Every structure is written in structure tokens, then in C-alpha cells.
A = this chain, B = another copy of it.
Amino acid sequence: MGKGGLRSKRGGVSPESMDELCINTIRILSVDAVEKANSGHPGLPMGAAAAAYVLWDKFLRHNPSNPHWPGRDRFILSAGHGSMLLYALLYLTGYTLPLMEIKRFRQWKSMTPGHPEYGRPPGVEMTTGLLGQGFATGVGMAIAAEYLANYFNRRGFNLFTHNIYAIVSDGDLMEGLSYEAASLAGHLNLGRIVYIYLDNKISIEGSTEMTFTEDIRSRFEAQNWHVQKVDGYQLEEIANAIEQAKGERNKPSLIIARTHIGYGSPNKQDSADAHGAPLGKEEVRLVKKNFGWPEDKSFYVPKEVLGRFRRAREKGERLEAEWNSFFERYAKGYPEMAKSWEQMMKGSLPDVWKDPLPDFLPEDGPMGTRYASGKVLSSIAPKIFSLIGGSADLGTSIMTYIPSLGDFDKDRGGRNIHFGVREHAMGAIFNGLALNKLTPYGGTFLIFSDYMRPAIRMAAMMGLRVIYVFSHDSIGVGEDGPTHQPIEQLADLRSIPNLTVIRPADANETVYAWKVALENRTGPTALILTRQRLPIIDRRRYADAGGLKRGGYIVADPEEGSPELIIIGTGSELYLAIDAHEGLKTEGIRSRVVSLPSWEIFKGQTKKYRDHVLPPDIKARLAIEAGSPMGWRDFVGLEGEIISMESFGHSAPQDVLFDKFGFSVKNLVMKTKGLLDK
């Protein structure tokens, strides 16, 4: 395909020319938007427009009038920096995205942010821009599609037949995340995946020859993918390849499309200069000239092009209507299934809390909170089909493996996903599951949360209900030593906006932690659990564990009089605080014990409640937590004390470590006395 003129002849447009016109419209809209914003990435949309056009025009089943239609194919622009490609397609095909918003590209509160954000503009399936995330999240969407198809489809009723399409770049493929996700996708035979890789040979520092010379075809074939190579400007070749890829149901597909960054820019095509900056006024003019576009117009969309693209609305509405009537018939035949379908679509879960939940007595302990978590999960998961999860090769340690639910593998109905030692891919796949209305749970040891941080951040940013199970939460890990002992991880998770972190103190707090997590519909929750066994706090004597729902609560108070000091603890240190409280009592010292399992939830309570738990006039406050002190002065102020970890840990048995590092009743008592002496 050449860089042909605007029209092949006056008064009419040949089909071939119409394709060209459509493709050039995407390109030039993108160039104009970046130029106006004076910021952005023109090179990708220019290079990828042809392939994206073929995909959207000929294959993508979607309904611009309803971006939430469940039967739609998913499209991910993994290389999110090329956002204008996606915005152009959304605008042209008729999503709720006026041209005015394209003109406000990258401006405050516009619908067209620098990188696509989940639902903003409508039609964006997920937030992208962090390389590799889109690639891996699509794998989660493909797992969701298989699982939901297995669950809902019935003879003659294939509700789910959709594919997961993505456009990925060399940056995506260089990130380790994409190898992890590809390895698992190939292993699981996720044939619904069709990814187009823009092989444009250019990265920011220059030619990919400088850093990225692996054999992409062999790499993906080694991971059980179906691989094709095409010229990214031969429309028929592209269409044939997508057709082939769709037909391959046992392997994920990669289409390597040779493209050119900044295609059509006389001076910047095939150069890193076309990547991340506006082309410049003069070059924009040359591009337009090159494509036979009116040089003096900006954001120009030929009428017939818009008409052509907008056929997608009509087609989409018809597709959805067909699907809806199909679903109506399904609902008549399978009313229970339809009910649970609708519940899932609303994001609500069956109210399993009405059934008896595990309730633990002191004599059931001592018990690690990871065990308590496992018991809760085993009791609720069988009742909620949309809970699906697993672990990065530690399911039997973090107690997320539920044998009765079967494995997700060739059996698409199994619900234990074995992620392998691939924490980052796991995190991204959780996001893909959650984006498709499932509620994923699972995790790894807390220390390895470091390997999946970018995916956790994505979940928080997109507001997804993901439940992380992170066990082995402190030096309580013991002999495995400092590499495996989290110190700063707890603080680091607390620092992520919109992530709720809960570190329950015993088995009963763990029950409520799960309840909070399942009821949190606006963001992810991280459950921070112990490896080591903990006493189960006697709730007949101390406050009910239900206080966890407010993030922090008073566990114990002086029998008479108001407290002189407050000891605040979380997780495995709370029982030490309670023991210290009892010891102090015998010495006539009046202490309050506060359990503070979730900072985020506590900070969200009314000032009145917070001041009730932590009265401002009581300055003598002591916090104890086997982690970094960072952030604790939010609760103890400058006058208080913190017993925490200021260094990395050591390899030794857990009880030795707790003693050596000062997590003991003795040290607590000593420190409280020091505080009172001040």
C-alpha cells in the first residue's frame, strides 16, 4: 500500500481507496492530536493504523453503543503510549467520545488521557502504558473467557465465543512479564488470544538491533504459540493472518507485523524521533501532503470515512441484539444460571456470610493466620463460583489451594490456577480476571509481592476487586533468613493509593478480613498473614474481632479509670500487646490495647471514632509491628515509641528472632515504662 492520495477519483471512492482513507484518517487524527497537545506519541498510531483498521473493521465484535456488552471481543492496546490510535478508533466507530475530546488530548479532566485508562474514554478495556501489563492482563481475560464459557455455556448455547485481541510492541516483549505470561498462556492452550506485535525495529534509544535481537518466532514457538509473520501494510495478508489465528483454538497466536514507526513522515519514519514527541508543525504539514490530506486543516475527518466507520454502531447493535435474544432464550432454559450471571454482572457476590462461618476459640489455637485464611476460603469458595485463584507455586504454603475445586488446566472448570513461579504474571492475570467480572484471590509470600508490584498498582488504579493473599509476613518466616523476611513490604503496600491492606491479629480477625475484602468493590485488598502460629485471642475476655471492620478498635482497657498509655499492635504482635497490658495491670499501670489491622480503613472512619480509639490527649503511645516503622508516627506522633524493624532480618528460628529484635512482652513493658517516665 502506498502513501496514496486522499481520493482515487472525484465523486466516488473505490473500496481500496476507502480503506486507505480510513487508515490515513486514524494516522492524521493522531498526529494532529499530539501536535495540539504538544505532547504524546505519534509514531505508533501512524505505523499501526493499517493493522488496527483491519482488525477493527473486519474482525472485532463490539458495540460502540454499549462498551459493556458481555459478548464483545476484548481489544487491548498494550503499547498504551500509542493511545491516540485507540481514541481515533473509538471516536470514529462511534463510542461516546466526541471529536472535541480528541482535541483535548492529554488535558486536565479530558476523556483522552496520555495513556488509555480503564473506561476512560468508554471502550477502553484496561489501563495500559506500563509495558507488558496489557500483554499479561489479556492472558487473564482469556482464562476468564474459558472459565466463564465452561461455567455458563450449555448445549446449543455458546454464550462466550469472544477473542482477546491486543496490539503489543517491542517494549512489551522485552519486559520479563510478557515471557512469564506467554509461557503460561501457551501451557494453558489459550487459543482465544490473538496478539499483533508491531515489529518496527525502533525503541527509544534507537534501533532494536542495539538490544533486542532474539528470534521472536522461535521464542514464542518454544512457548507453544502459533506464530505468523506479515507485512503490516498488506491488508489482505493481515486479514488472512487474523483469520488463521482465530482458527487456532489450541494455541495463543502472535502475528508479527513488520511495521514502520511514524509511517508516512518523510523525515521521521523509522526513527526514534517519531516515538515520543510531536512531529513539529512543518513535518505535520509534510505528512499531510504525503497522504494527500488538506494541509491547512486539523482534525479533518472526511465525511465518507466517518460514515464508513460508523457502520460499526449499526453492526454492533445488531450483534448485541442477537446476543441478547440468545441470552433471553438461555435464561428461559436455565433460569438459575441466568440469575447467577446477572448477579455476577452487577458485581455482587452471593451473601455467604449468612451461612455459618468459621469461628475460632482459644483452644483451636495456636494457629497461623494463613491457616485461618485457608479455612475461611475453603468454606466460602465452593459457594461463590466467581471466586477463582491460585498461587505462584506456593498454594500449599499460603493455603489457597482448595482440592475440591479442581485445577484450571485442560479442565476449564477447575478453579485452582497454578501460576508457576511467575508472581508478576499472576498479578496481571488477576487483573484480567477481575476486569471480566470474576473475583480473583491468591498470592505468594509477602516478600515476593515485590515481584508483582506494578500489577498490584494497576489493580488499585483500575479499582478492581482483587484479593491478595500474602503470607509469611515478617521475620516470623524464621530460618529462611533476610532474603525471605519482609521488612518494608507492609509499608510499601500501605503506600499504594486505593489498596486496602489488612494484617489480622488472629484467626477471628482473619475471618472479618476476608469479609471486608469480598465486600470491597472499589479496589483490591491485601491480606497479610503469618507463617507462624499465633494464639487465638479470647474474645469472651477481649473485644470482638468484628472491630476489624473499622480498621482499628479498642481490644482491652483498664478495668477502672482511663488509660495512661496506649499500645497499638497489628497481626502477630497484638497478642504480645495484650500480654503486656495484663502484666502492666498487675503493676497498677493502666493501658489500652488497640488493634490496628488496617490503616486505610481506620483513616476512613470519622474523626470522632478515631479520637475515641486514640484520644488526642493520651500522648504516651507505643506501637509494635514486626516491619518497617515507616508511617507509624501517623498514630504515635513524635512523642510515642515504635518497636519495629530498622534493618534486614536474620536467619534463625522465629522465636529467637522475635526475642532478639525486641518483639517481646518484656521489651514492651520496658518501653511503656520509659514512655511514662518521660
- Decide yes or no: A396 and B651 within 8 Å by CB, A176-B424, A177-B176, A646-B497 being known contacts: no
Interchain nearest-CB distance for A407 vs B (Å): 7
Q: Is A19 among interface residues, defined by CB-CB distance under 8 A?
A: no
Q: Is A393 among interface residues, defined by CB-CB distance under 8 A?
A: yes
Which chain B residue lies CB-closest to A207? B418
Taken together as a complex, chains A and B put the C-alpha atoms of A606 and B359 apart, in Å, by: 51
List B contacts of A81 (CB < 8 A).
480
Q: Is A634 among interface residues, defined by CB-CB distance under 8 A?
A: yes
Are B210 and A407 in touch, CB under 8 angstroms? yes
Taken together as a complex, chains A and B put the C-alpha atoms of A106 and B599 apart, in Å, by: 34
Residue-wise, chain A 480-500 has the 8 Å CB interface mask toward B (1 for contact) of 111110011001101111100
Interface residues on A, range: 35 or more
Q: Using a CB-CB cutoff of 8 Å, which residues 410-461 of chain A contact chain B?
A: 418-425, 447-448, 450-451, 453-454, 457, 460-461
List B contacts of A454 (CB < 8 A).
450-451
Task: Select which of B419, B479, B637 is within 8 A of A211 by beta carbon.
Answer: B419
Taken together as a complex, chains A and B put the C-alpha atoms of A96 and B128 apart, in Å, by: 52
Residue-wise, chain A 172-189 has the 8 Å CB interface mask toward B (1 for contact) of 001111111001101100
Q: Is A127 among interface residues, defined by CB-CB distance under 8 A?
A: yes
Q: Is A397 among interface residues, defined by CB-CB distance under 8 A?
A: yes
List B contacts of A80 (CB < 8 A).
483
Taken together as a complex, chains A and B put the C-alpha atoms of A628 and B215 apart, in Å, by: 42
Interchain nearest-CB distance for A186 vs B (Å): 6
- Decide yes or no: A113 and B648 within 8 Å by CB, A108-B656, A394-B204 being known contacts: no
Are A481 and B117 in touch, CB under 8 angstroms? yes
Are B401 and A498 in touch, CB under 8 angstroms? no
List B contacts of A409 (CB < 8 A).
210
Residue-wise, chain A 607-639 has the 8 Å CB interface mask toward B (1 for contact) of 000000000100000000000101101100110
* Interface-central residue, A114, A407, A454, by most chain B CB under 10 Å: A114
Residue-wise, chain A 657-670 has the 8 Å CB interface mask toward B (1 for contact) of 10010000000000
Q: Is A303 among interface residues, defined by CB-CB distance under 8 A?
A: no
* Interface-central residue, A117, A175, A634, by most chain B CB under 10 Å: A175
Are A212 and B420 in touch, CB under 8 angstroms? yes
Are A481 and B204 in touch, CB under 8 angstroms? no
Are B213 and A224 in touch, CB under 8 angstroms? yes
Are A479 and B418 in touch, CB under 8 angstroms? no
Taken together as a complex, chains A and B put the C-alpha atoms of A450 and B428 apart, in Å, by: 14
- Decide yes or no: A482 and B218 within 8 Å by CB, A131-B421, A425-B176, A630-B494 being known contacts: no
List B contacts of A645 (CB < 8 A).
497
List B contacts of A184 (CB < 8 A).
211
Which chain B residue lies CB-closest to A276? B397
Which chain B residue lies CB-closest to A639? B637
List B contacts of A481 (CB < 8 A).
106, 113-115, 117, 129
List B contacts of A633 (CB < 8 A).
631, 633-634, 637-638
Residue-wise, chain A 120-135 has the 8 Å CB interface mask toward B (1 for contact) of 0000000111110000
List B contacts of A407 (CB < 8 A).
210
List B contacts of A128 (CB < 8 A).
483
9 more contacts with CB within 8 A, not counting A203-B421, A487-B495, are: A129-B480, A130-B483, A175-B421, A204-B394, A205-B401, A215-B223, A631-B633, A634-B638, A638-B638
Query: Which 3 residue pairs of A and B lie closest in terms of their CB atoms, listed nearest first?
Result: A176-B176, A113-B651, A211-B420
A residues contacting B by CB (< 8 A) are 37, 39-40, 80-81, 106-110, 113-115, 117, 127-131, 170-171, 174-180, 183-184, 186-187, 203-206, 208, 210-219, 221-224, 391, 393-397, 401, 407, 409, 418-425, 447-448, 450-451, 453-454, 457, 460-461, 478-484, 487-488, 491-492, 494-498, 616, 628, 630-631, 633-634, 637-638, 645-648, 650-653, 656-657, 660
